[in-house]
Chain A
Amino acid sequence: MRQFTVFVKKEFLHIFRDARTILILLLMPVIQIVLFGFALTNEVKNVNVAIVRAEDQPFTGRAVNRLSSSGYFKIYGEYSNFYTAWNHMQRGEVSLIVSFMNGEANLTVDGSDPNMASSIIQHAKAILAREISENQIDNNLQSTLTTERVVPRVELLYNPQLKSAYNFVPGVMGLILMLICSMMTSISVVRERETGTMEVLLVSPVRPVYIILAKTVPYFVISMINLATILLLSVFLLGVPVTGSLFWLIFTALIFIFVSLSMGLLISSLASTQVAAMLISGLVFMMPVILLSGMIYPISNMPGILRFISEFIPAKWFISAVRKLMIQGLPIGFVMKEIGILLTMATFFVAVSLRAFKNRLE
């Protein structure tokens, strides 16, 4: 046991004596959660719109007012012919052209970002349809409409202000913890091997398992600090509350940190050089985590094979659990599946990496 604590101390010293690395490790999550918490959004907001109308009619005037006061759209300019407006779209300055012709409205949208385009159409249509239907009632064209109209009451659960931070904070949390834990651990083991100091460690009387476990302890501690800063920032700065139980949230996060650390160990026993280790943990893991974990793009929309791959991404389960615990405020009973899967993954990675650890130099 004493040997173990000495090794843990050695690992801590390694980290603390590299001031830049420790600074980055502690600051990185802060900057990222702030940046992404505010800046990552799929909202339709202040989209530049060009209006094309031949003459000023009361109806088109009201419709334009409605568009600009909705907060979704910003009127970029009004043009008398479509071609001028289209020129602005060609240069990427406007994303939507609304042209009024003979009392009809035509929407022309820039489809380069199809997701944005469909949201833009959806919002613009809703705004214009309201104007048109009120216009019709005004003109008593279809007075029957008013009597038959059912107005549904709509409630948006869990996130009534529709803040995108509610959606992205769990994702960013998963991404940061995953990358920091697995990259750091994998590098630190391979480094000893590459610089030749592993030989010294292996001939020492310490059992190889302890060498490996001692490597994970400092990073576990740093990850906990990171977790704390991330949670504090999201609650106090981003205004994303922890609606569920804080205890279970931290519990889940600890399991996830453990999975990431053990994944790092596995990588380190497979990779022979630091470059390889970092490329595997960084590149090969980063893109799938960003794209397939449900952080940005909903998994339910993906084709079957990607849905299947996403099942094996630990971050996916973590993000889903955090959404339930933190945002929806559900009791722990609802995330048993996620926790079970994460625990299985942790056991698997630890078992495989301990088996794969070579206590002989090649």
Chain B
Amino acid sequence: MNILKYLLEKEFKQIARNRFLPKLILVYPVVMMILMPWAANLDVKNIRVCIVDGDRNSPSTQLISKIEGSPYFTQLIFAQNYPHALDYLEKGSADIIFEINNSKIYIASNAVDGIRGSIAASYLATIASTADSGMISQNVLYNPTMDYKLFMVPALMVILVTIIGGFLPALNIVTEKENGTIEQINVSPVGKLTFVLSKLIPYWVIGFVVLTSGLLLAKVIYGIVPAGKIAEFYLLSLLFLFVVSGMGLVISNYSRTMQQAMFVMFFFMLIMILMSGLFTPTGSMPLWAKYIAALNPMKYFTEIMRMLFMRGSRIPQLLNEIFALSLFAVVLNGWAVLSYRKSL
């Protein structure tokens, strides 16, 4: 126990005396929390429509003023004919073309981003055909204002925890390996577990500091507070910290140089982030990709965070995810301790 205390003191001093690391730990989460939630907006709005009015009669003018009145179309550009309009679209100054000729309507939408293109086209088509949807009512649960910031804040916390709990300790161990200082640890009476714990505990502590600052920022800037219990938020984050730090340890055990560790980690990190449902829904993936996503611990933690923040779910409702994360934690940490060698 005494040994662990001294080792922890060493680790904290090393982190604090690093020129770069404390800045990263303090500044990075804050900048991410301030800037990034604003980015994740997939709303189809501010559509720039290019209008070609070949008829110039009252029905066509009426239609155009209807488009003008719609909240989705903020910018109307008028073109003489279709080739002119296409020119606007190709230059990127219009998103969609609306042409009226001999009372016929033609809509051409830039569908490079398929979803955006098709939704914009269906907005225009709805306006043009005056379909009545008055008999359909709608309500949105859990996030009634459809605030995408509420969607992003938990996601960012997931990323921050992964980086701080998984990345930094692994890099730390590989640095010791590359500098050769790990040899001194290996010849010392320090046990495997004590050594590993001394590497992980500082980052768990930092992880909690980052989570707390994240929570505070979310409340101050966006007015977002978890609908669930704060204690459960911390408890489940700790579980996820176990998982990612186990993963970082496994990677560091199998890497000799920084370069190797780094590429392996980025490889997994990128896959984990993009396959976790953080940014794009896992439900729409093809079946084989869903199986891969099922092996992604980040996916479960993302679900937990979103459920906690938005639905106010409690632990009994999250048992499946918690079970999956616990399994990951046991397997990865077991593997990490077993594969750690004190011999070079």
Contacts and interface: CB of A to CB of B under 8 A. Distances in A.
A156 B117 contact: yes
Contacts of B259: 18, 21, 187-188, 191, 274
A35 interface: yes
- Most chain A beta carbons < 10 A, residue from B89, B114, B283: B114
Interface in B90-132: 90-92, 103-119, 121-122, 124-126, 128-129, 131-132
A263 to B, nearest CB: 16
Interface stretch (B184-192, B228-236, B268-276): B268-276
B203 to A, nearest CB: 13
A273 B293 CA distance: 34
Given A302-B38, A328-B90, A111 B136 contact: no
Nearest to A292: B39
Contact of A42 (B42, B135, B269): B42
Interface string B249-276: 0000000011110111011011101110
Contact of B28 (A24, A36, A283): A283
B146 interface: yes
Nearest to A43: B284
A80 interface: no
B330 interface: no
A163 B114 contact: yes
Nearest to B32: A287
A112 B289 contact: no
Given A91-B317, A187-B259, A129 B111 contact: no
B314 to A, nearest CB: 11
Contacts of A108: 138-141
Given A155-B106, A157-B110, A111 B140 contact: yes
A327 B113 CA distance: 10
B331 interface: no
Interface in A265-302: 271-276, 278-279, 282-284, 286-287, 290-292, 296-298, 300-302
Contact of B115 (A111, A162, A330): A162
Given A38-B286, A125-B138, A274-B178, 4 more contacts: A90-B311, A90-B313, A183-B263, A334-B91
**Most chain A CB inside 10 Å of its own CB: which residue of B18, B32, B113, B121:** B113
Contact of B117 (A153, A159, A278): A159
B17 interface: no
A309 to B, nearest CB: 7
A163 B273 CA distance: 21
A42 B277 CA distance: 10
B10 to A, nearest CB: 17
Contacts of B46: 300-301
Interface stretch (B1-9, B19-27, B333-341): B19-27
Nearest to A273: B20
Contacts of A160: 111
A54 interface: no
B111 A158 contact: yes
Interface residues of A, number: 111
A279 B45 CA distance: 36
A280 to B, nearest CB: 8
Contacts of A70: none
Interface string A330-351: 1000100000000000000000
Contacts of B136: 104-107, 125, 128-129, 132
A104 B137 contact: yes
A153 B105 contact: yes
Contacts of A328: 90, 110, 112
B90 A334 contact: yes
B139 A154 contact: no
B283 A279 contact: no
Contacts of A18: 257, 259-260
Given A39-B286, A275-B258, A286-B270, A159 B138 contact: no
A89 interface: yes
A167 interface: yes
